A and B are shown apart, each in its own frame.
Chain A
Amino acid sequence: MSEKPGSGPSGFDRRAFIAAAAGSALVPMAARAAAQDANVSAAQDPALPVDVTLRVNGKDKRLRIDARTTVLDALREHLKLTGSKKGCDHGQCGACTVLIDDRRVVSCLTLALAAEGQEITTIEGLATDDHLHPMQQAFVDNDAFQCGYCTPGQIMSAVACVKEGHAGSEADIREYMSGNICRCAAYPNIVAAVKQAAPEIMKG
């Protein structure tokens, strides 16, 4: 299923808004943006939105975005996937952690345009049907959060931490999970959750 171009958060439709606000603006904008479809590699006019297709949790999502849009803002504001959280927006807290091509990254410092053609996995993409991912279940079992704001980032980071082979000891888990800050300081329980889920994830 693909997202309708120009459709924004909460039903906000940028094209309709601009058309209503500026009348004739709709036609040239849509026409010029369309002309760039096949050619992201040519520098675009920074004043114009750009069409991009992001592959998120296994589905292609077609978006019309400002070039400044990060993957985090594309997920939250354009695709309504609000699981990934905006904490610091500067790559310091880890709340926005997602997997891109199976590697954990901070989505707040990743431009959406630069992520085209890559596979983005968010917290919404972890569970299958009614079954939580083993790491999600482990966070529940170990009470590995209080307020929960950092939790989606913690879980995405933890999944990658295990797959990288960095969950072999508590010391390793602490070191390799240090990019995810928990202001409630649920760290001991997070370490316990990662330890619990690791064997099951490695088993596949």
Chain B
Amino acid sequence: MRPFSYQRATDPDMALQALSAAAAANNPLTKATAQPLAGGTTLIDLMKLDVMRPAAIVDINPLARSWSAIEPGSDGLRLGALAKMSDVAAHAEIQRNYPVIANSLKLAASAQLRNMATLGGNVMQRTRCSYFRDVSYENCNKRNPGSGCAAMDGVNRVHAVLGTSDQCIATYPGDFAQALIALDAMVEITGRSGARRLPFADLHKAPGKTPDIETTLQPGELISAFSIPGRWPRSVYLKARDRQSYEFALSSAAVALDVHDGTIRDARVALGGVATVPWRAREAEALLKGQKFDDGLAQRVADAAFAEAKGRRHNGFKIALGKRVVARALQQAVTMEI
């Protein structure tokens, strides 16, 4: 690991000041010379791998005093960005009214990592693409813009089939983000010039020509909270992976339904493990609205969700797997007792 200076921020102003001092260098956020430290489960790991090389670490954990509240209300839910994954997953009201959120968190990582990792850090988690994580591969457009992509014709079994570009096929690895995007969450961002809110769906950027730019968050800004409108007791997070626990998704689905007298009034479908960014399958959702559920509909919805999918040498199986995950998640959501 390269040397860095360590600074503990005891209030948001101090954190933003320390982070924005480095922002002047005009690097994209992923290469900003000052990085915030929350749970550290991505940052310290990538610093040990020499993938991330910040000159300064700003420890924002003391901000948890005001940024970690879990606040279920009558018209929605607000989650502080420094709330720990484990605390949110274990919260009774979230398990009851937002099972897709509770389960996306509970099925991620390990008990130890969930105790460390925060919600804000979780959505900023970097890809697990092995060519990105191994600096001995020079050609990674995400790490070294313009250097090429070793995964394109390399071992790409875990790579994305949706949202890819000719520059990058790295999979967005998280789970919680799929729940957020499905439920129309908003993200609250604090910067030196004040606070702003944007739809969670606008936080991540598909790789396109600039896979090194992963989000619209700017250097010197911090995520302070997420807010989720409404309640979604009929919601499911289903995750298919190589082992039953403590593994990233090969394919996952976040599904939330509003069903009245057997008719689907509103439907949300988001996909994980198969796309370069948290992926909302709106064309699939449209097929569900106003319909009565049956297996034929589930199949058509699953087909629509993967209509644009493009497999490569080793990951074509994700298209067939992903459709089955969507169909099964819908089945589970329709039949769950609430």
Instruction: List chain A positions with a Cβ less than 8 A from chain B.
Output: 40-47, 50, 66-68, 70, 89-91, 94, 97, 103-106, 109-111, 113-114, 157, 160-161, 164, 166, 174-180
Min C-beta distance of A81 to chain B, whole Å: 18
**Chain A residue nearest in CB terms to B58:** A43
Check B6–A111 contact: CB distance below 8 A.
yes
Min C-beta distance of B127 to chain A, whole Å: 15
> A-facing mask of B73-88, CB < 8 A → 1, else 0?
0000000000000100
Check A94–B112 contact: CB distance below 8 A.
yes
- Chain A residue numbers with a CB within 8 Å of B1 are 68
Check B3–A67 contact: CB distance below 8 A.
yes
| Segment with Cβ contacts to A, from B38-46, B141-149, B293-301, B304-312 | B38-46
Check B113–A41 contact: CB distance below 8 A.
no
Query: B6 touches which one: A44, A104, A166, A180 (CB < 8 A)?
Result: A44
- Chain B residue numbers with a CB within 8 Å of A176 are 111
Query: B56 touches which one: A43, A113, A114 (CB < 8 A)?
Result: A43
Query: A70 touches which one: B5, B9, B44, B57 (CB < 8 A)?
Result: B44
Check B246–A178 contact: CB distance below 8 A.
yes
Instruction: List chain B positions with a Cβ less than 8 A from chain A.
Output: 1, 3-10, 14, 18, 37, 40-41, 44-45, 48-49, 55-57, 59, 61, 86, 90, 109-113, 115-116, 244-246
How far is B5's CA from A68's CA once the two chains are assembled, in angstroms?
Answer: 9
- Chain A residue numbers with a CB within 8 Å of B44 are 70, 109-111
How far is B230's CA from A1's CA once the two chains are assembled, in angstroms?
Answer: 54
How far is B57's CA from A135's CA once the two chains are assembled, in angstroms?
Answer: 37
Check B111–A166 contact: CB distance below 8 A.
yes
- Chain A residue numbers with a CB within 8 Å of B7 are 41-44
Check B45–A164 contact: CB distance below 8 A.
no
Q: Which 6 A-B pairs have the closest CB atoms?
A: A179-B110, A178-B245, A46-B3, A178-B246, A43-B7, A43-B5
**Given A111-B59, A114-B6, A180-B110, 14 new contacts (CB under 8 A):** A43-B18, A46-B4, A47-B3, A89-B48, A90-B48, A91-B113, A94-B110, A104-B115, A105-B112, A111-B6, A111-B44, A111-B57, A114-B40, A157-B112
Check A41–B111 contact: CB distance below 8 A.
no
Check B116–A106 contact: CB distance below 8 A.
yes
Given A44-B5, A114-B61, A178:B110 Cβ within 8 A: yes
- Chain A residue numbers with a CB within 8 Å of B110 are 94, 178-180
- Chain B residue numbers with a CB within 8 Å of A178 are 110-111, 244-246
Min C-beta distance of B276 to chain A, whole Å: 23
Check B9–A67 contact: CB distance below 8 A.
no
How far is B245's CA from A176's CA once the two chains are assembled, in angstroms?
Answer: 9
How far is B44's CA from A91's CA once the two chains are assembled, in angstroms?
Answer: 10
Min C-beta distance of A115 to chain B, whole Å: 10
Min C-beta distance of B55 to chain A, whole Å: 7
Pairs across A and B, CB under 8 Å, 25 listed: A41-B7, A41-B8, A43-B7, A44-B5, A45-B5, A46-B4, A46-B55, A68-B1, A90-B49, A91-B112, A97-B112, A106-B41, A109-B40, A110-B44, A110-B116, A111-B6, A113-B8, A114-B6, A114-B59, A161-B111, A164-B90, A166-B111, A176-B111, A177-B111, A179-B246
- Chain B residue numbers with a CB within 8 Å of A113 are 6, 8, 59
How far is B186's CA from A138's CA once the two chains are assembled, in angstroms?
Answer: 47
How far is B1's CA from A186's CA once the two chains are assembled, in angstroms?
Answer: 34
Check A105–B116 contact: CB distance below 8 A.
yes
Check A43–B6 contact: CB distance below 8 A.
yes
Check B245–A109 contact: CB distance below 8 A.
no
Min C-beta distance of B109 to chain A, whole Å: 7
Task: Tell me which of A91, A111, A175 has the highest count of chain B C-beta atoms within 10 A of its own C-beta.
Answer: A91
How far is B54's CA from A46's CA once the two chains are assembled, in angstroms?
Answer: 11
- Chain B residue numbers with a CB within 8 Å of A109 are 40-41, 44-45, 116
Given A43-B6, A46-B55, A67-B6, A105:B115 Cβ within 8 A: yes
Check B40–A41 contact: CB distance below 8 A.
no
Check B109–A179 contact: CB distance below 8 A.
yes
How far is B5's CA from A105's CA once the two chains are assembled, in angstroms?
Answer: 23
